[in-house]
Amino acid sequence: MDFFKVVSVGEGKDMIWENFKDYEFETEEVNILASINRVLAEDIISDIDVPDFNRSTVDGYAIKSSDSYGATDSIPTILNIVGEIKMGEEAKLTIRSGQAAYIPTGGMLPEGADGVIMIENSEKMDENTLLIYKPIVQGENIIFKGDDIKKGSLALKKGRKITPELMGVMAALGISKIKVFKKPRFYIISTGDEIIDMDQELTIGKIRDINSYALYGLIINLGGEVVGKAIIKDDYNLLRNEVDKALDLSDIVIISGGSSVGARDYTHKVIDSFNGRGVFVHGVSIKPGKPTLIGEGKGKLIFGLPGHPVSSIIVFKTFIENYIYKKLNMDYIMPRVNAVMDFNFPSSPGKVTYQMVKLNEIDGQYHAEPSFGKSGMISLLSQSQGYIIIEAHEEGVYKGETREVFLL
């Protein structure tokens, strides 16, 4: 039993940041095709103008815009067709007043021209004669050189998560290798005399290791990698040896605890045993997840997560995801959906409460109902698509109100 103060969620996040804001996550270079969902570890400055020539955005005719002034359906302007711009080729002709040249979408604007009249607003009378039925303004239907991205300008900021769209941007800039943060390395240790792994026989009194699998998935989806995974009996020396090894191999060690008092004591002592700061968060006012331990050993971040699956998932999302996003400078937006609450639910005064919910779509509107179940039930996980967060100052959830449901 310890008698330390339980901290708020905000205080807990601040304490992690204070202790680990200077922790270095290494970087590596990856090929663009392998970069999806990685995090940019450098600003990307464009070394070209995009586009690198004046380009038409439509199929039409390149002209001098002043030639089109006054053109109408009834009194079209007549221009002389002097040639055709080919896709992917340099435009070698020059447009003078009274002249026009066919140009495809993406084609290079010829010298002298300062606008493109869309094909729909013109009519080709014969090989050499074009009628135009509408005036255009200077620059109409053209992207000028560097209009999109200027040479030397900041194209993408460090910390951006590489989406499909950003892959397109990097391709446009001709960047085939990208400096990204290495995947944060995690080591997961499940503790408990009752815990057995997948391949062991489920004898009476034992339960299967659930948390390390859920945590494994959370780590992958966060963009991390799992460098080790172990199940350790409730024994101080066994646990200390495993954590010692884990600290050498990983950036962050997660001890997924037995939820009994004894198991928590072992974990606490082990975290304190590396001549570092030891445990600096001794419990958090979060529900579920209160008996969370957060500490430091050998310069690495160590979490002692509660044994119940839902608790350990919530604490992972609240603290570990938050730290990684902040540390890698990511402007991450938590995916969510609006839903009508089909239930009343009381808050726990002074605590941030996470409640798992099921979502149903009714006439294009999502409705949420709580996934109830006794503590530790895994059906809470199989039935839920998301969770709501009830802040410490809130009174609770009222039936009929619309809230944000964060997606699992």
Full DSSP string of 6-52: PBPHHHHHHHHHHHHTTPPPPEEEEEGGG-TT-BB-S-EE-SS-BSS
Quote the CA–CA distance of 272 and 276 in Å, as a whole number.
7
Nearer to a copy of itself, 64 or 160 (CB): 160
Nearer to a copy of itself, 53 or 345 (CB): 53
Nearer to a copy of itself, 72 or 221 (CB): 221
Q: Where are the alpha helices (DSSP H) in 116-272?
A: 164-172, 211-222, 236-249, 261-272
Smallest distance from the beta carbon of 358 to a copy of itself, in angstroms?
A: 11
Nearer to a copy of itself, 12 or 306 (CB): 306
- What is the largest distance, in Å, between two alpha-carbon atoms of the chain? 94
Smallest distance from the beta carbon of 226 to a copy of itself, in angstroms?
A: 8
Nearer to a copy of itself, 262 or 400 (CB): 262
Alpha-carbon torsion angle 53, 56, 59, 64, nearest 10: -110
Nearer to a copy of itself, 75 or 198 (CB): 198
For residue 296, what is the enclosing H or E element? strand 293-297
Nearer to a copy of itself, 260 or 348 (CB): 260
Smallest distance from the beta carbon of 152 to a copy of itself, in angstroms?
A: 15
Q: Is the peptide bond before 110 cis (omega within 30 degrees of 0)?
A: no
Smallest distance from the beta carbon of 347 to a copy of itself, in angstroms?
A: 18
- What lies within 8 Å, CB to CB, of 18 at 6+ separation is none
Quote the CA–CA distance of 143 and 8 in Å, as a whole number.
53
Q: Where are the alpha helices (DSSP H) in 204-345?
A: 211-222, 236-249, 261-272, 309-315, 322-327
Nearer to a copy of itself, 50 or 297 (CB): 50
Quote the CA–CA distance of 262 and 337 in Å, as a whole number.
40
Contact assessment for residue 344 and residue 396, using Cβ atoms and an 8 Å cutoff: yes
| 209's tokens | 């290791």
Smallest distance from the beta carbon of 408 to a copy of itself, in angstroms?
A: 5
Smallest distance from the beta carbon of 368 to a copy of itself, in angstroms?
A: 12
Return the HEC string of 364-379.
CEEEEEECCCCCCCCH
Q: Is the peptide bond before 306 cis (omega within 30 degrees of 0)?
A: no
Smallest distance from the beta carbon of 218 to a copy of itself, in angstroms?
A: 4
Smallest distance from the beta carbon of 64 to a copy of itself, in angstroms?
A: 20
